[in-house]
Structure 1
Amino acid sequence: MLGSLLLALGLMLILEGLMPMVLPRLWKSLFEQMLKMEDGQIRFFGMLMVLAGISVIWFLA
């Protein structure tokens, strides 16, 4: 179980690091746009990402 969690963490870190590595200007631009968003908008986006992750896990399990 711990091995699976560490594998998932490693894959998440790889995916999170791809955009700043490959497209740093676009990544900075996206962060600048996020800074202009209201807290509720950011929370909604976060909720969508959590639901998408749960959906992927549910379909693969």
Structure 2
Amino acid sequence: MEFFAALCLVLVIEGLLPFIAPKVWRETMTKVAQLNDGQLRMVGLLSIVVGLVSYWITTALIG
């Protein structure tokens, strides 16, 4: 159940920028589409690392 709740929260967060600033979101996605594979992989890796470290810190502080 917690995993499903986390996925729902991801959808909420992902939807914020297109809802609040669709023009900025569209311009950003156009720039992202122009990145090469290596750059996209680096962005993905950094997202994974930041997410895991944030999760680890949060769980260490709470529990």
Fold conserved between structures, TM > 0.5: yes
The letter for the 1-side match of 2:44 is G
Q: 1:29 aligns with which of 19, 27, 30?
A: 27
> 1:35, CA displacement in angstroms?
1.4
For 1:42-57, what aligned pairs fall within 5 Å after superposition? 42-57=40-55
RMSD, matched Cα = 0.7
> 1:57, CA displacement in angstroms?
0.9
For structure 1, the 5+ residue unaligned runs are none
> 1:44, CA displacement in angstroms?
0.1
Query: What TM-score comes out, normalization by structure 2 length?
Result: 0.89
> 1:36, CA displacement in angstroms?
1.2
Identity %: 31
Measure, in 1, the Cα distance between the counterparts of 2:33 and 2:5: 31
Measure, in 2, the Cα distance between the counterparts of 1:56 and 1:9: 16
1:6 partnered with 2:1? no
Query: What TM-score comes out, normalization by structure 1 length?
Result: 0.91
Residue 37 of structure 1 aligns to a residue whose secondary structure is: coil
Moved over 3 A (4+): none
For structure 2, the 5+ residue unaligned runs are none
1:40 match: 38
Aligned length: 59
